Amino acid sequence: MKYTQLGRTGLKVSRLVLGTMNFGPQTDEADSHAIMDAALDAGVNFFDTANVYGGPDNKGRTEKIVGNWFAKGGDRRDKVVLATKVYGNMAAAGDAWPNHDKLSALNIRRAVDASLKRLQTDYIDLYQFHHIDRRTPFEEIWQAIDVLVQQGKILYVGSSNFPGYKIAQANEIAARRNGTIGLVSEQCLYNLAERRAEMEVIPAAQDYGLGVIPWSPLQGGLLGGVVKKEIAGGRRATGRAAETLADPGARAQIQAYEDLLDKHGIDPGEAALAWLLTRPGVTGPIVGPRTAEQLESALRAVELELSQEVLDGLDEIFPGPGPSPEAFAW
C-alpha cells in the first residue's frame, strides 16, 4: 500500500479509503468484518463512515458494525484513521425533532457522543461536516469543535460536499481563531465522468491545504465496465448509471471508454481509480466494496500505472470543464 499526508497535516493515510456505506444495507456484519480485516491486512488504514449510514430505517447501523469490529481487539482501532460525519437527522422516519440535525453546536455535541458510543471508541480522527449548513455561522461551529478537540473526542475536521467558497469561508474564519486549524480535507463527488469539482472545489482545497477525498469514484458503477457486463449477461446497470446509459450519446461515451481500456488490457474500474490517484490534490478515493472481490480489484488500482497514451485518451473521452473562470468565461 502507498501512503500520503492528509492535506497539510502530519497524518499519514493510505491512498485508498475504505468506504463503509454498504455495511449493513448491502453487506452483513460478518462479511463487513471480513472486508475490514482484508483491507487492514493490505495496509489500508483510512476508514470512512457516517452517523446516518445503515439505511433509512436503521441509521447508525454502519457505525455499530465498525464499532463491533474494533471491539475484537488486535490493535484494530489503533491502526485505523477513523473518519465519520455529522449533519443528517438521526431520527426515525416521521419522528424528526428540531436541533437533531445540521451543524448547530448542540447537534454537533450530541452527534459526537452518539457516534463515539456506536463506534466503541473514545476519539474520532477525522470528524467531517457531511454538508454545508447555511444557517449556522462558522464562529459557532468552530467554537463547538474547539471544545471537542480540547476534550480529546476529535483530532481533525473535514468537510464533505462543500463548494469552494464555503471551504474558503470556513478556513478564513478558523484562521482568525487562535488554535483552530480549520478544515484539513474535503470529500467531494469526483470521477472521470463528473469533473466539475475541478472548477473551484479542488483549487480551493489545494490553496487551503485540504486533502481531496473523492466519493463515487466509479460514478455509481458507470465506470466499472457496465456495458461489457450488460452484453455478457451480467449485472445490469441500475439507478443513476442506468439513467445515464439510456441516453445514446452518454452510452457511446461509456462504450468508447471501455473500448480504450480493452485495447490496453486494463480493467475499467481499476483504471477509474488509478486515474484519480494521478490527479493533483487527491489524497485517495473512497471505495465501498460489497464483497472481498471488489476490494481486491480496488487494491490493484493502487499499483496500476496508466501510460500517457491512456491518460490522453481518457481526457479526450471525458474532457472535464477546466478551472474557473475559463470553464465558463475567458
Q: What share of the chain is helix, strand, coil (3-state, %, to 5)?
A: 40, 15, 45
Q: What are the start-end ranges of the H helices in 208-307?
A: 226-231, 239-245, 248-263, 268-277, 292-303
**b/e burial code for range 143-181 (CB count within 10 A of at least 16 → b):** ebbeebbeeebbbbbbbbbbbbebbbbbbebbeeeeebb
Dihedral sign, Cα of residue 44, residue 46, residue 51, residue 53: negative
Say which amino acid occupies 50.
A
How would you class 275 by CB atoms within 10 Å of its CB: exposed for 0-12, middle for 13-18, buried for 19 or more?
A: buried
Catalytic residue (choose from 3, 53, 127, 208): 53
The DSSP code sequence of 78-124 is HH-EEEEEE-S--SPTT---TTSSTT-HHHHHHHHHHHHHHHT-S-E
Active site residue 53: yes
C-alpha cell at 73: 481487539
Give the single-character DSSP code of 232. T
- The most distant pair of C-alpha atoms in the chain lies apart, rounded to whole Å, by 59
HSE toward the beta carbon, residue 318, CA cutoff 13 A: 25
Q: What are the start-end ranges of the H helices in 132-247?
A: 138-150, 164-175, 201-207, 226-231, 239-245
Q: Which residues are catalytic?
A: 53
